[in-house]
């Protein structure tokens, strides 16, 4: 799933009408597993000047980058954080943050074919190759992508009245408009 999908879905799953401040922790937990990917992109593209083809065909799969990605997608480490937040600190903020990271990892686990993470790092180097992909046409990306957009639209409709500020509501609308526009642009490029 795309990062914006993780954010909208996780906030919808974890939102509480009487505790809108928790949206921030769900947001951070939804983004954090993808943050290393943005760091990777910036470092390789703008600092190392790696060509895009090489970036995604080889640099992405180097051991150093994969380990960096895996640290932020490691379910055992996130479960430890969840246990600390819930049982030791009795912190609803840390608990929501950790749950958001787990939800992100679950959906990544289910929608990545040959670009998945070592979700059981550091206990195992196993990588699950899902039969479906949110982007790869060879693994039903053309079917999964529109379903993802529909699910995010429904989650957004559910979430909209729960957001308390105009900025949050406009942000949600803007993300959906850009998300839909990027999908339509991709469709037109395929057909053109």
Mean pLDDT of 97-117: 96
Q: pLDDT at residue 183 above 90?
A: no
- The CA distance from 145 to 138, in Å, is 13
For 2-18, the pLDDT digits (tens) are 999 999 999 999 988 88
Higher pLDDT, 158 or 164: 158
Given a contact cutoff of 8 angstroms between Cβ atoms, the answer to whether 68 and 36 are in contact is yes
Q: pLDDT at residue 107 above 90?
A: yes
Task: Provide CB contacts within 8 A for 86, sequence distance 6+.
Answer: 94, 95, 98
Give the position of tokens 């990777």: 40
Give the position of tokens 């053109």: 192
Mean pLDDT of 149-165: 94
Q: What average pLDDT is seen over the chain? A: 94
State the total domains in the chain. 1
- The CA distance from 78 to 93, in Å, is 14
Owning domain of residue 128: 3-191
Mean pLDDT of 29-56: 96
Q: pLDDT at residue 192 above 70?
A: no
- The CA distance from 71 to 124, in Å, is 12
For 68-84, the pLDDT digits (tens) are 999 999 999 999 999 99
Q: pLDDT at residue 153 above 90?
A: yes
Output the pLDDT for position 27. 95
């Amino acid at each position: 799933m795309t990062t914006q999908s993780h954010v909208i879905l996780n906030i919808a799953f974890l939102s509480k009408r009487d505790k809108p401040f928790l949206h921030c922790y769900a947001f951070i937990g939804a983004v954090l597993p993808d943050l290393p990917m943005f760091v990777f992109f910036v470092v390789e593209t703008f600092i190392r000047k790696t060509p895009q083809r090489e970036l995604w065909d080889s640099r992405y799969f180097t051991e150093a980058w994969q380990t960096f990605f895996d640290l932020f997608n490691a379910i055992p480490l996130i479960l430890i954080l969840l246990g600390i937040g819930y049982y030791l600190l009795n912190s609803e903020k840390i608990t929501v943050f950790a749950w958001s990271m787990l939800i992100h990892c679950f959906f990544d686990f289910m929608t990545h074919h040959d670009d998945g993470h070592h979700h059981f790092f550091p206990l195992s180097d196993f990588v699950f190759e899902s039969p479906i992909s949110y982007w790869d046409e060879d693994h039903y990306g053309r079917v999964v992508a529109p379903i993802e957009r529909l699910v995010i639209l429904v989650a957004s409709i559910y979430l909209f009245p729960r957001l308390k500020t105009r900025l949050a509501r406009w942000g949600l609308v803007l993300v959906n408009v850009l998300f839909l526009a990027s999908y339509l642009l991709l469709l037109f490029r395929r057909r053109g």
